[in-house]
Structure 1
Amino acid sequence: MSNFPQLYKKGNKPSCHPSKFQISAGFQVVNSDKSLEIYLFQYPTCPFCCKVRAFLDYNGLSYNVIEVNPIRKTELKWSDYRKVPILLVKVDEGYLQLNDSSVIVSVLSTYLNDTSTKLTDVVKFYPNIAFMDDDGTIKKEVLNRYHVMYHGQQSESASKRIVDERNSRKWADNVLVHMLSPNVYRTREEAIESFEWFSKVGEWDKNFSSWEVTSIVYLGSTVMYWLGKRLKKKYNLKSDVRESLYDSCNQWLKLLNAKGTTFHGGSRPDLADLAVFGVLSSIEGCSAFGDLRKKTKLSGWYDAMKSSVALHDGQLAR
């Protein structure tokens, strides 16, 4: 299955019904949009999952969390699509499955722009397409993955803002996120330290057995240590991978300075802010993030974002 939205109608695919899941946590927001009943399948420190949570929290949307065992993935047995995040949203016809963090954000943003349009109609703007890559491989992609749909003609300034936002969202996915693993798993010690933090944040002791937690921490950290080395080479990071992380974040800060505003979106965060914040929040408890705060001027923007997300400022803006 691709990352194209999937509808499970009432009476079909009973194994995906929320009653079958162990809800790890529920985040209920006062006066949240009651039209959306949301279930998020995630790893707590996956950067793409953190992007989705940042979006949901900022917009004041209540949701339930199902923690997925990163090794066994038994919580995803019902789905042909086996990556996180996955969002299940209750609709009149049953449950709508949304895959891929950027598709999820674009679909929900479009819906929030006009809640009179059914979510099942909104997803029609995001069809799945197949194409042949340069090497002859057939690949599938969701059309309009980074596009938010608006009613009517946009002004020239609004159109420029939309394009800038879209480009920065792509940058977060295609550049910034690749700085994380080589830095978080830079040494064996840092890899174990990171997984122990992941375990604490995700409350793995409450969701998995003790032997599962131990195997995830030590097996996972070993695998990711070596993967980090491969990714360093693949994405041409500097010999000191911290420098590549600093460079990427300084590139983001330079963009904000050029705008002369607190956020990429101006006085309030936009989807680009939420994407970059979500990605970076996934490593907040790791040594790499502490070094990032010390070596760059990221803290001002990051802390402002953290406050705005926690206060559900997007809900107030609607």
Structure 2
Amino acid sequence: MSCFRLATATALPAGSGSRALRLLANRPHKELAFTRRQFAKAVEGGSGSRKTNGTFKLGLLGAVVGAATGSVYTFYTRWTDGNSHKEHEETKPARVDGLPSGVRITKRYVNPKDTSGLDIVLFQFQTCPFCCKVRAFLDYMGISYSVVEVDAVLRQDIRWSSVKKVPMVLIRQQDGRYVQMVDSSAIVSLIATYLQDKRTDIGELAQFYPHTSFFDDDGKKKLDILNKYFLMYRDHTPKGVTKEAEELDRKWRTWADNHLVHLISPNCYQTMGESLETFEWFSQAGEWDVYFPKWERDMMVYCGATAMWAIAKMLKRRHNLTDDVRSHMYDALDQWTAELKKRNTKFMGGKQPSLADLSVFGVLSSMEGCQTFKDSLQNTSIGKWFYDVKAIVEKNRGQLVRERVEGIKAVA
């Protein structure tokens, strides 16, 4: 697998201090002796005044105190968090022997023209922006897949997983086991990579998208899939794919995740009335009355609307948004359409949607039935591009089969 082209980040090699000591040990004996004599004179005050000697001792004392304080702090942080000092540790995607017992498939999209050979189970919330991104990609590519609609409050269908968030996919490997992938952008990149070259098993390709630990600017330890916007080509870049196109795709996919998506909640839940209206639309779009008991459906609507109304206020402060949250949404959409106009193309990918187009479309489709989206159509020029992408996605999508299948078998 070493032949894959992969973007990597470099770090200083471990043990650099030991090498410095070895280099010092290899110096000529006379030079070391001279150095020791000069250091001894400085400590004893033989080569300077009392004032210089006192200053040196004070500095030496400060260095010792500083080193001791740092050591105590390091020991304390390691004692309170045994793994806090570990950085750049990788956690590979998990594999499971089969679909977990009790997984309830709610619907399938079946495309008779699908030649991918993939068996995919998507765990989702119907109107989650990140889930919408994954569905937009799968639908556009004409891939068949099964859906497990997860209760947004109880999350019973993902209790088996150590990762308690969606979207999540299980994809069958050649050996019959399933590889578990999370993070919408990594899921899209993995499947897009596989579709470019099917010689490598999907489970093996998934290992190129590990979670890696790092520390952010505030010193907090984080986990992320650092190469999630990269496609892992085997021997060479596919014909017709340019470096400029790859960089453009990564730029706007990152923008969709790090900027556009953060405008959704503060807009769709800015008032309690709008929050409740949004969740009623979620219920309709996700067919909650079909897949969940009435008490569970009502709990999802009313508890979810109340929680998101409160969370939206915190998110507005976190992302430094003004009270006029609509203006931030309009500015973002104008930024996207201005780039399309500048490039003079129908889509960011040219004549056909790219991964960037599908990412932005997926995020926006998550609020299509909300007042925020209706206002955006009236106050920006996003509508034509959005519905052009939607038409292609729906044309390529497989036939929807609504069902709730009990058991562990993914495909009938």
TM-score by length of 1: 0.92
Contact between 2:129 and 2:261, CA under 8 Å: does it hold in 1? Answer: yes
| 1:169-248 superposed matches below 5 A | 169-248=253-332
Aligned counterpart for 2:123 among listed residues 20, 38, 41: 41
Could you say what the CA RMSD is over the residues aligned between the two structures, in angstroms? 1.8
**Unaligned runs of at least 5 residues, structure 2:** 1-89, 398-412
SS at match of 1:131: strand
| Residue in 1 that maps onto 2:249 | 165
SS at match of 1:125: coil
**Partner Cα distance (1:235, 1:143) in 2:** 22
Residues 154 and 202 of structure 1, relative CA distance in 2, 3 Å threshold: closer
Contact between 2:167 and 2:184, CA under 8 Å: does it hold in 1? Answer: yes
Contact between 1:246 and 1:292, CA under 8 Å: does it hold in 2? Answer: yes
CA apart distance, 1:5: 2.0
CA apart distance, 1:148: 0.9
Bigger radius of gyration, 1 or 2? 2
CA apart distance, 1:137: 2.3
Contact between 2:103 and 2:148, CA under 8 Å: does it hold in 1? Answer: yes
**Unaligned runs of at least 5 residues, structure 1:** 314-318
Aligned counterpart for 1:80 among listed residues 150, 162, 179: 162
CA apart distance, 1:127: 2.7
Contact between 2:126 and 2:285, CA under 8 Å: does it hold in 1? Answer: yes
Identity %, equivalent residues: 43
**Partner Cα distance (2:217, 2:390) in 1:** 41
TM-score by length of 2: 0.71
Superposed CA offset, 1:242-298 (max 9, x none)? 111000000000111111000000000000000000000000000110011011111
| Residue in 2 that maps onto 1:6 | 94
**Partner Cα distance (1:122, 1:231) in 2:** 35
**Partner Cα distance (1:84, 1:170) in 2:** 18
| Residue in 1 that maps onto 2:338 | 254
| Residue in 2 that maps onto 1:111 | 194
| Residue in 2 that maps onto 1:268 | 352
**Partner Cα distance (2:91, 2:372) in 1:** 31
Aligned counterpart for 1:144 among listed residues 220, 227, 231: 227
Contact between 2:102 and 2:157, CA under 8 Å: does it hold in 1? Answer: no
Superposed CA offset, 1:211-246 (max 9, x none)? 111111111101111111111111122321111100
| 1:54-93 superposed matches below 5 A | 54-93=136-175
Runs of 4 or more consecutive aligned structure 1 residues displaced over 3 Å after TM superposition = 153-157
Residues 153 and 302 of structure 1, relative CA distance in 2, 3 Å threshold: closer
Contact between 1:28 and 1:63, CA under 8 Å: does it hold in 2? Answer: yes
| Residue in 2 that maps onto 1:316 | none
